[in-house]
Amino acid sequence: MDTPAGSTVDVDVNVDADADDDYDEIPLQHKRPFGSGLHRKTVAFVPASASDGCLNSTDHVNTAAKPKQLDVADLYLSMVLSKDNKTANEAVQVGETGAAICEVCRLPLESEPAPAGSSDVDDGNSSSSKKDGGKVHENSFAHQVCLPHSYPPSALDRSRMGLSYLSQYGWDPDSRKGLGAAEQGITFPVKATPKYNNLGVGIHVPKNLPPPREKKERLLDAGKVRKQARKDKRKAERIHQQLFGNQDLEKYLGPGALG
């Protein structure tokens, strides 16, 4: 737990392997945040209906004849996505010209040219059937983003007494809903941001600004004090010169006026 941020995985394991059982071997900076990046991660999972283990390539989806086994990923997908897949397939509307529109993402279902992003995927299947085209479309980025997806469960501690009371009256912590007659209330407490300065409304301090350096109080010895006094005196003389050594002024006031 206390390993420095830069240490590598194997070092960590060597040091701490038996110190702590549930020690996580992946350094924090390499960990993927849970629940973030729907586009990248979920998309990679969807075509696994053909699960050969090669999750990245959608070629397998189209070339493989049948799914061989059900693995964990399949199971997960059948729970999370099966319904949506079905509805998506059923929702295909065939237009008069034959161009169907997907109900989920409201984009036309293209059968011949694949979307630019997945053109390499679709190389061998340019004359695929409508169903295959649907599948290609399903794998497309735009479609994936539009799919309703499940959220990670709420981080609330399930053993809390307050939670059990609220769930007794029908509030589900994972529903992403608040309280109220229609559960329309806010879901998270209002956040407080303390303000330690006098900056006006509309000024924002950049977050990564280094904190202002505190001025150190200097201790002056006799020499420094004398030096400072000399400096001040010179400054005063200069100002005096500027004000009273002015020729224009002398012209108006007469030479005797300034002294």
Q: Which is nearer to another protein, 113 or 200 (CB)?
A: 200
Binding footprint of another protein on the chain (CB under 8 A)? 156, 160-166, 168-171, 173, 178-181, 183-190, 192-196, 198-203
CB of 157 to another protein, least distance (A): 9
Write out the DSSP string of the chain. ----TT--HHHHHHHHTTT-TT---S-GGGPPPTT--HHHHHHHHGGGGG-SS--S-SHHHHH-SS-----HHHHHHHHHTHHHHHHHHHTPBP-TTS-EE-TTT--EE-SSSPPGGGTTTTGGGTT--HHHHHHHHHHSHHHHHHS--PPPPP-S-TT-HHHHHHHHTT--GGG---SSTTS-S-SSPPP-----S---TT----TTPPPPPPPPPPPP-HHHHHHHHHHHHHHHHHHHHHHHS-HHHHHHH-GGG--
CB of 98 to another protein, least distance (A): 47
Which CB sits closer to another protein, 30 or 195?
A: 195
Minimum separation from the CB atom of position 162 to another protein (A): 3
- For the CB of residue 191, give the shortest distance to another protein in the complex, in Å: 8
Beta carbon of residue 218, minimum distance to another protein (angstroms, whole number): 25
Q: How far is the CB of 31 from another protein (least distance, A)?
A: 22
The nearer residue to another protein, 194 or 211, going by C-beta atoms, is: 194
Which lies closer to another protein via its Cβ, residue 72 or residue 190? 190
Whose Cβ is closer to another protein: residue 156's or residue 236's? 156
- The residue behind tokens 């420095």 is 4
Nearer to another protein, 74 or 183 (CB): 183
